[in-house]
Chain A
Amino acid sequence: MENVVQRLLKCSTSTFFQLHIVNCTGLGEEGVKAAVATSRLERGKLRRRTRAAVETGVGHREPGPRTRRCPQIAFCPAFCDPDSLPPRVGWIAAGALASIPTPAAHGSAPSIHKHGSSMASNSSSSGGSDRQRIAQQRLRIIAGHLQRPAGDDSALLAAECKDQGSKSDASSEEKTVPRRRQEIMKWNGWGYSDSRFLFNKKGQAEFTGKRYKLSGMIIPGLKEWFEGTFGANLQHKSPATPILNSSAVRPPTLNEAFVEELKSTGVPFSHDAEDRVFRAYGHCVHEIFALREGRIGRVPDLVVWPNCHNDVVKIVELACKHNVCLIPYGGGTSVSSALECPSEETRSIVSLDTSQMNRILWIDEKNLTAHVEAGIVGQDLERLLNESGYCTGHEPDSMEFSSLGGWVATRASGMKKNIYGNIEDLVVHIKMVTPRGVIEKSCQGPRMSTGPDVHHFILGSEGTLGVVTEVTMKIRPMPEYQKYGSVVFPNFEQGVACLREVAKQRCAPASIRLMDNEQFKFGHALKPQVSSIFTSFLDGLKKIYITKFKGFDPNRLCVATLLFEGNREKVLQHEKQVYDIAAKFGGLAAGEDNGQRGYMLTFVIAYLRDLGMDYYVMGESFETSVPWDRVLDICQNVKARIVHECKERGVQFTPLSTCRVTQTYDAGACVYFYFGFNYRGLSDPVHVYEQVEHAAREEILANGGSLSHHHGVGKLRKEWMSETVSNVGIGMLKSVKDYVDPNNIFGNRNLF
């Protein structure tokens, strides 16, 4: 049976990936989503097929040899009750599965692993038919979840902590995020080393690597857009320093006593220059720009990689004992200078990298929660949960690299929050290690009235109070159906009015985003080469229809991208509802492709910034949230302010200043601004950039926007904190800090 299932799976999954290749459905954050989308469809079919196979009686499983190292398995205590049925498989094989890279990157189907089955034999005593029924039930679930390892329904007690030392080195290589990030990621740019945009010898833009949908493709329109938008020239290059020069890194200031004691705990650490530099920055323009120029400021003196909660407890204890400054590090995707080492810090700075704490400790299917170590990055969390048929639905744009702990610490928001909620809606329980000890709630009640919610001291604490080590999160069954869509509006005003109406009727799809005209054009420029004349012909027709027949001004129209999720009928019904509303605001349905491309833009834009920097173009995005009645004005004013400030500061070419509405709420929206400019001829472009961003933020605040919707405050936006939350508010936060961390061990000096 297993073979049948396995073969079936193998064959079907590979069909899926072939499909992917044909469809050019590639990955990356965008790609993951796209792949997930397609795979869900595929899987839906498969599930039906497998189920059929199971029900015809092949539901018998033979124990087989392990194909790989047995993973550590954690299980849900609820399922320990011996009287209950064997668990509806409340576990997940973290180690092994985490080792499977993103499907497309891998290029082939992940193999199915088998696991020990002690529990299975324990529970199999209740007789043949019962046993068969149970087995069938299990298999149904197994088959339903497809990529879940098919060989086990048992639960093993989780190892307290993962193996440490030499043995785990091997396994760490298989993880998405290795300890040595430099093995797969850029040190002075975004994302994976193998993936980047470049202009080839013919002057055409292409995206390298194999990970993403766009990988290996030519993007014919990009050059013209790039040159036209920024006044850039491919002849004028501003290449980055290729290699990190370790000698440019100041030698570490080590606290010897701390290091000695740390050694005895067995927690891995390093003071290798590269390791340290990798943890010294986020992805703000000024950070990346400095690195590209090979300028390296203060970096952490030591990096530690705890493997579990207890490791963190030990590290924090030692840090307190020896007065060492700790800076938690998750995915490193900060855009608020949160990771920057405070220049005034004289103590030894230790970067506490949570990336190795990446297991799903248990999945509780009854309560639909999962208990997860906080270092797990978004793509792993989703992938692993998907393998069990679940998802969190939390998909921030940075989900390829950002970590659960980071989301909690910054109050992250996911693209599909309309269905799943933002991080604060998703967490049920948080465990955080602070200098005062561990803070956690005593139960997992879904809501409590027990004074101010202590979770809210943790959510958004930005690493100033402690390290989030474990989180219980809500999970949902994976949606059976997903559909992209898009609507073209004659102008941005109409688009915003439509989004407002959608929010009012509370019928927002999983995601709804409205791009302004500039971004619409940008999205267009990112269309990969179409091989088929038919497609380009169709595109031409569409364009003629919209601009000529419908009279939309190509320089004013804008597009909303949509993502629907759920049950197929409901999705279709929902889609109709939204398109009907859109029609009232002059919106025309513009197809799934446009929608999908819109979401792709989110994930490649960070890579595009690196391309820009190769040609004297510097860019950044920043966000805010704002009441509905101010959305239009804030968009208009902030964009205008950016253009205005650039002009004032001697930027020769009008900058790219564009925005989109990315989230809708009952009472307002989240707005994202993108700003890029050609800095050729400026003596201190970063300074100009910072002044413009500063002015833009002032404009945002003056227009009734918030200091941040989800990026956080970090050190970049600290100066506005007291006017944002009032002096009393700051006092409250400070008094919490003073109690929890009187010696400022968590000394990243974010927030205030």
Chain B
Amino acid sequence: NTIHIFHHLMDQTTKASGRAGPEHDEEFVDILEERRRSSDLGHALRTFNPHPYRGAPPCSTADLNKAVLESQYLRYVIAMETGSSEEDVREEARGILEEMSQNLQLRFIRLMGYTLTKVFKRLFTGIFVNMEGLATLQQAIQEAPVILMPNHRSYVDFLVISYILFTYDIPVPVIAAGIPLAGMKMVGEILRRSGAFFIRRAIGSDKLYWAVLSEYVKTIVRKGYAPMEFYVEGLRSRTLKSVTPKLGMMHMVLEPYFKSEVFDITLVPVSISYDRVLEESLLAHELLGVPKPKESTAGLLKAGKVLQEDYGTMHVNFGRPLSVRQLCQGKINRCQYNSAPRSKNLPQKPTEEAQACVSWLAHLMVRIQDEGSVISPWSLMACLLLQAPMAVLAEEGLPWERLAERTLWLRRLALDCGAGLNWPGQTPDSDVMSSAVALHRSVVYRRAGRVYLLQQEEPARKRPISPEEAVMRIATAVLMLASYRNQSLHVFARPALLATALHITKSTQRDELFACFCFLQDVFSYEFILVPGELSQDFEEACVLLEKCGAVHISQQEVTLSDMGLEALSFLRALIQPFIDSYQVMFRYLSEEGDPVLTEKQLVPAVRNRATKLILSGELRTYEALSSDTLKNALSALQRLEAVTKLRT
């Protein structure tokens, strides 16, 4: 049954995202085109006439906040707080809400609209939006509370959905944001009035904070106050790869349905894809241990120079609205909440069933975001470039012809695997690839028929660079390249795991392969986000895709290699190899390290040092082992597999 629903869903999302195929370009409309033709001010001052949720009367921000503070639930929690007087606790709750709450105002949406038009026109050649998705969204918003669930790859996404919805007369969302944004002078307040509400990062066991937050979120959902936008991944992916979803917010959002406080909730996954991400080098540095600059207004203004560059296009793909009611059928027994009064569910931990359902849904959303994302030719090229030895790529370069040929081959493979490619049909293929490289001149450059990895020159060097520094310089470019590869990783993840399993086991037996597939998935569960509990479907899918690419033959019991498929299989294996290598560095470090107790803070730099040495000695090929993200994922995986434990001090 689940399989059935899932496949049904996949069909639907496939349709909705309109991926793969030449017609895909026709579905997306460049919303900047009109902005370039008409007045920005006119756009900002346009008559905004959205059709809100029909199920409940409109309510003001003040009413919303009042409803939260006066809710039975919060009153109950306040009464349960011990230590200080009830009045003090109430005051504290009010303070929390004040810090948190949004204050959506149309004036500021207009201001935001005006500013963003200016910014977007400068940054992007186009912002492509699927109009059909917008039309269904407009409908869905009237029928049930809508949760917009975009992926988060750049700061730029933060208001882009609001901007699009404003342009198309759809109610603008309230957006869950991290508290640092609120701290930015002026900007924080502008964001708040554009619909952002702010959540502290480390809430821990602050019961009152949890209570205010969850009541705030649930009240918005229950009242259908406005569509709610939040990042199920919880944060901006530093690697452009999907992140294991966070469940807290997801649970809060779904609870009104679980508890039958609303008839249904509509989830709308949104996939935002970039040709080129503004923060690319910042991210790479961060991954290599250079701390992320604190969000500040001054910092934002200084970022002015990034506005001078071209970032290609942005695709915003609104997925098909999904009914939580339909998705949860058979997964949630809503009767379980019937015996407790509605307002007093605090001490009750969510049931295992509910947790599993929330987790499943969250992963499903990530998967649909992945499926809906639009893959650029550059991403395919990045996959291939990364498979070359880096030192060679940096020093000797790769023949352009070879790269172009391989890219076209990979395009075929990607299409077979069902990727949503943004490969302009009208332009000659060579021009497409040339302009992709040109756009990414911050990573590679082309000279005399060869492509080279760019190593950033640091100005005013006083002393010659050390070998370690040289590694870091290459690493910066490699990690940028890896990020762009990651954009298409989800397309190949399943067949690549199978290809690796085929290689490791040297077996043709399905069950053996499946066991290995599961093991790999288990180890790399933080790298490739698969929907939990659906491994056998994933395995089946992998088999089918490999067969479709002509790499294997499938029978009831066996998966046998085909001669035609060696290129594909080795490509797929090589795609995963950096992860395997990086994890091994971590594993080896841990098993060789004498001290059984390490702090996390020390561990990552230590492993990075070890990896640097291994790279220098030629033992390690991949620079991705230097990425803190990869190392942290490896650690998390070990923790999940109970090979290491986290001690709280």
Contact = CB atoms under 8 A, between A and B. Distances in A.
- Same complex: yes
Interface of A: 491, 556, 627, 629-630, 633-634, 636-637, 640-641, 644, 701-704, 723
Contacts of B260: 630, 633-634, 637, 702-704
Interface stretch (B86-94, B285-293, B336-344): B336-344
A49 to B, nearest CB: 55
A630 B72 CA distance: 13
Nearest to A723: B335
Interface of B: 55, 57, 72, 260-264, 333-335, 337-338, 341-343
27 contacts: A491-B57, A627-B341, A629-B72, A629-B341, A629-B342, A629-B343, A630-B260, A630-B342, A633-B260, A633-B262, A634-B260, A636-B55, A637-B260, A637-B262, A637-B263, A640-B263, A640-B264, A641-B263, A701-B335, A702-B333, A702-B334, A702-B335, A703-B260, A703-B334, A704-B260, A704-B335, A723-B335
A644 B72 CA distance: 31
Of B260, B262, B333, the most chain A CB neighbours within 10 A belong to: B260
A640 B323 CA distance: 14
A703 B258 CA distance: 10
B263 A636 contact: yes
A319 B341 CA distance: 49
Contacts of A630: 260, 342
A131 B404 CA distance: 125
Given A630-B260, A630-B342, 20 more contacts: A556-B57, A629-B72, A633-B260, A633-B262, A636-B55, A637-B260, A637-B262, A637-B263, A640-B263, A640-B264, A641-B263, A644-B263, A644-B264, A702-B333, A702-B334, A702-B335, A704-B260, A704-B337, A704-B338, A723-B335
SS of A interface (majority): helix
B258 to A, nearest CB: 10
Contacts of B261: 633
B53 to A, nearest CB: 13
Contacts of B335: 701-702, 704, 723
A703 B262 CA distance: 10
Nearest to B342: A629
Contacts of A640: 263-264
Contacts of A556: 57
Nearest to B263: A640
Contacts of A637: 260, 262-263
Contacts of A627: 341
A585 to B, nearest CB: 15
B537 to A, nearest CB: 26
Please give me the 6 A-B residue pairs with the lowest Cβ-Cβ distance, nearest first. Answer: A702-B334, A704-B338, A640-B263, A703-B260, A637-B263, A629-B342
A429 B334 CA distance: 40
A167 B72 CA distance: 68
Nearest to B337: A704
Interface centre among B264, B334, B341 (most CB of A within 10 A): B334
Contacts of A629: 72, 341-343
A640 B263 CA distance: 7
Contacts of B55: 636
Contacts of A633: 260-262
Nearest to A641: B263
A702 B337 CA distance: 9
A636 B262 CA distance: 8
Contacts of A636: 55, 263
Contacts of A644: 263-264
Contacts of B334: 702-703
Contacts of B342: 629-630
Contacts of A702: 260, 333-335
Contacts of B72: 629
A281 B453 CA distance: 84
B196 to A, nearest CB: 29
A633 B262 CA distance: 7
Q: Which of B333, B338, B342, B343 has the most C-beta atoms of chain A within 10 angstroms of its own C-beta?
A: B338
Nearest to B261: A633
A587 B62 CA distance: 24
A469 to B, nearest CB: 38
A637 to B, nearest CB: 5
A702 B335 CA distance: 5
A740 to B, nearest CB: 31
A62 to B, nearest CB: 67
Nearest to B336: A702
Contacts of B263: 636-637, 640-641, 644
B413 to A, nearest CB: 40
A627 B263 CA distance: 18
Contacts of B264: 640, 644
A630 B342 CA distance: 8
Nearest to A704: B338
A702 B333 CA distance: 7
Residue picked from A556, A701, A703, most chain B C-beta under 10 Å: A703
A631 to B, nearest CB: 11
Contacts of B338: 703-704
A638 B333 CA distance: 16
A60 B352 CA distance: 82
Contacts of A641: 263
B218 to A, nearest CB: 13
A259 B334 CA distance: 52
A636 B222 CA distance: 12
A556 B54 CA distance: 12
A702 B260 CA distance: 7
